[in-house]
Chain A
Amino acid sequence: MADENNTTEPSTRALTRRQIVAGGTAAAALVGLAACGSDDEGATTETTAAGGTETTAGGGTETTAGGTETTAASGEGKTGGTLRVAVVGSTNDVIDGQYIVAKPDQARLVLGWEPLVNYDADFNISYEHSLAENVEVVAADHYIITLKEGITFHNGNPVTADDVIYSFERRLDPDLGLAPALSVLLDKSGLTKVDDRTVDVKLLQPAVTFLNGLAEYTATVVPVGYTREGEQIGTGPFMLKSFTSGAESVHVRYDGYWGGAAYLDEVQIIDFADAAAAVNAFTSGQVDAMVDLPFAQAEAVKGSSDLTLLVSEAGSWLPITMAIDQAPFDDVRVRQAMRLIPNREQMVQQVLSGYGSVGNDMYGKLDGSYPKDLPQREQDIEAAKALLAEAGQENLTIDLFAPDDTAGLPEMAAAFAQMAKEAGVTVNVKVLDGGTYWGEQYTKYTFATSFWGTRPYLNQVAAGSLKDAVYPETHWPPADSDFADKYLAAIAETDQDKRYAIIEEMQTEEYEDGGNIIWGFNNLLDAHANYVMGFEARPNVLNLDHFGRGMKRIWLDV
């Protein structure tokens, strides 16, 4: 196995790092890359037998060093080379086209598999980088998905409606438990094949959030019969060649990729047990890019003339959660007081080393419905004390729970406890091991900490802010609230303006009375060598510019 792919000698590339800085032609080319992705969609590709040529309708052609193969796409990039990406991982890694356990799994999934729709940089539903040509909203509970033409799996077979249906069914399979939120909206009987490229989907209830669910990066299309144990076939720009849990995976270019073949010959996702080792490997040129650069290393990378820091705004957040039906938080004044305690700017500095933005106790940051008019909540110790006094909780002492397996949460709890002292509140931070923390007590704590990824507002409500949510951490909404009814009305409303009007009421209620203390959102912090071209800093759900959308337009200027 190992012999056949001995194409790139890692150490030889390290030498070329110094030569790169000299060649300045690439910088100008970088700007046009994002746009050319969509231009390629219409291009047709034809592959002849091995060693033959491959041409597309797109601009110029590039010849690889061997000269045997001409690849297409637009003229900007150079074809060839191996990209080595360092990610912190362990033997927990799995490979699955529709499921991830850890960070390296995300990178591997995005290289090989694609969802039906996607988000653009403004977090609107987009068909770029994804398999559907159109998703028609017939009604809030009725959708018609049409596939793009000419999409093939890595084995050359065309993607059909059957594959789309199988992909839904696999995600709904209760034994696999891949997408618990989807099974609330959909069961097998709602899926009908119309023709080879069209699937009709009828939901169990009206829910426009279904579209957002389609845009999740794990909601990919796999071929009929796909399993985690079987052959790893997807539609993405790179095919999996080998995978060893906790060590590395090797991905090679799929020349038949529908969006035009990628530039790189090979991508290696390399596991590092420890971020410090990954940083050493990165700064000494053993890898070309690094996911999740430790905050402390950011300045060093900024100061280097060979390395580029990639800071992307994200919608992920680390809340402190108050169970609104448990004492003392069953008194809304205590909740309001707690939200006045943190110095949010300082929390961002302390917990995120400044790589984040201040929060306003409101989630769904990248969503178009995110409320920008609500006044920014600031630290106000006097007001907090007054509220606590009113509620008869002047000398409140309370335990705040945090898990030891999620970076930032113990630090956040400690920072909050420190600030709470000023308001006369004694917060005892209890750090539990991850297995215990997320065990039976999870979602039952009175006062705890958590983490959430980037979701649109309504999807986040379904995940965490309803009585029957997947993780009802704050036990929201209150018994006398019509929040849940508003939620049902909002997901049944296909008109965006009308929907946003309902959402605004829901957001205001949570802003006033809710149980989440959302002091900030963290940025994604990655880095790459200057000669790696094509990554762009923009709001993103995933690291490294959404892993370069499968590294399809990433190239090496060497």
Chain B
Amino acid sequence: MGILKLVLRRLALGVLTLFVVSLAVFLLSQALPSDPARAVLGREATEENVAAFRAQYGLDQPMITQYTTWIKGLLQGEPGVSYSNGQPIMDFLGDRIQNSLFLMFMGSLISIPLSLVIGSYAALRRDKAFDNANSVSSLILAAMPEFVLGAFLVVLFATNVWNIFPATIRIRPGEPPWSDMKGMILPLMTLTLAVTPYVSRVVRASMIEVLESDYVEMGRLKGLPERTVLWRHAMPNAIGPTFQVIALNVAYMAGGVVVVESLFNFPGIGLAMRDAVRDVNIPVVQFLAMFISFIYVVTNLAADIGTILVTPRLRTRLK
């Protein structure tokens, strides 16, 4: 009973957050200094072209009308038409959303378990060889910008040293994102190397804290096998606090990896967002901002609920 109430309350908060975000996104895009009609039509445009453009996209309507039309469209799954190519947004972004979600899924599938294992093992072997080596290498990796990391992998595995993996990915329009798994290798490798150091360090810190706690010591004193102490008692308490960091990194993989998308020509929403901002393609900017916010809200919601469910202390408090 308690858990359902919690989920509902969090959901309501999520919806409220999205509403506030929608207001901010709308107002900010109105405040952009550049005129979308001019930006899209370019220098070829005459005054008549510009006026026709404004009328066609409802830019001559009052702001309130524009906002409600937009929200209504979003809710009905018709987020509007791109200024730059005149196509309905979902026609050319649908595939990209699918691709980005798949990249996020695969990236999480690899980097989360890897981080958990590396982080906890480093905590158990604290200040020993593995921990030290891991600390140094993850600091180096974390300090490296993704494009350096990715470009290095391309040189190593695709172009100059070995030609074993494709340098860029090619997901044909209409094909599922897993149609070029070979092409996924380098983007996933880059993401994993970028995300794992962060998450594993948080896992390590959290694990060390738990391992030093009274109840772990109690378990050990009671003579429980080390495996039981670790997996039954320490892990559930250590993993909870890391969920927020994991959630942030997961959401990041969906929309924030413009550099990785650009380097591997991955047809995702990060690049679409970059182009849309550059071209003042407001309907696309607005839609993607809302979609990426949605991903953040959902992953955070999942992290919140997950934290409560796995942490015995918090779980019992619900009842």
Contact = CB atoms under 8 A, between A and B. Distances in A.
A429 interface: no
Contacts of B44: 177, 180
Chain A interface SS verdict (over half): loop
A436 B38 CA distance: 8
A217 to B, nearest CB: 16
A244 B167 contact: no
Contacts of A1: 174
B33 A11 contact: no
Interface stretch (A89-97, A257-265, A337-345): A89-97
Contact of A283 (B159, B173, B182): B159
Contacts of B135: none
A315 B54 CA distance: 35
A435 B173 contact: no
A242 interface: yes
A503 to B, nearest CB: 26
Contacts of A91: 82, 84-85, 92-93, 272, 275-276, 284
Contact of B262 (A101, A247, A248, A273): A273
Contacts of A177: 44-46, 48-49
Interface string A349-376: 0000000000000000000000000000
Interface string B39-53: 100111110110010
A439 B279 contact: no
Given A180-B44, A244-B92, A405 B167 contact: no
A436 B33 contact: yes
Interface string A76-103: 0000000000000011111000000100
Contact of A276 (B84, B86, B182, B263): B263
Nearest to B32: A435
B72 interface: no
Nearest to A282: B167
Size class of the contact patch on chain B: 35 or more
Contacts of B93: 91
Size class of the contact patch on chain A: 35 or more
Contacts of B33: 433, 436
A441 to B, nearest CB: 10
B166 interface: yes
Given A2-B172, A177-B45, A280 B275 contact: no
Given A91-B92, A177-B45, A435 B36 contact: yes
A281 B168 contact: yes
A295 interface: no
Contacts of B42: 438
Nearest to A280: B167
Contacts of B39: 433-435, 438-439
B92 A435 contact: no
A121 interface: no
Contacts of A438: 38-39, 42-43
A272 B265 CA distance: 6
A439 B49 CA distance: 13
A286 interface: yes
A247 B173 contact: yes
Nearest to A6: B172
Nearest to A281: B168
Contacts of B85: 91-94, 101, 245
Contacts of A433: 33-34, 39
Interface string B260-298: 011111010001101110111000100000000000000
A49 to B, nearest CB: 29
B154 interface: yes
Contact of A248 (B36, B173, B264): B173
24 contacts: A2-B172, A2-B175, A91-B272, A175-B52, A177-B46, A245-B87, A245-B92, A247-B173, A247-B267, A273-B262, A276-B262, A277-B262, A278-B265, A280-B168, A281-B265, A284-B167, A286-B166, A434-B278, A435-B36, A436-B34, A436-B35, A436-B38, A439-B35, A439-B39
Interface of A: 1-2, 10-11, 90-94, 101, 174-175, 177, 180, 242, 244-248, 270, 272-274, 276-278, 280-281, 283-286, 405, 433-436, 438-440, 442, 471
* Nearest 8 interchain pairs by C-beta: A435-B39, A435-B34, A244-B173, A280-B167, A439-B38, A284-B167, A438-B43, A92-B84
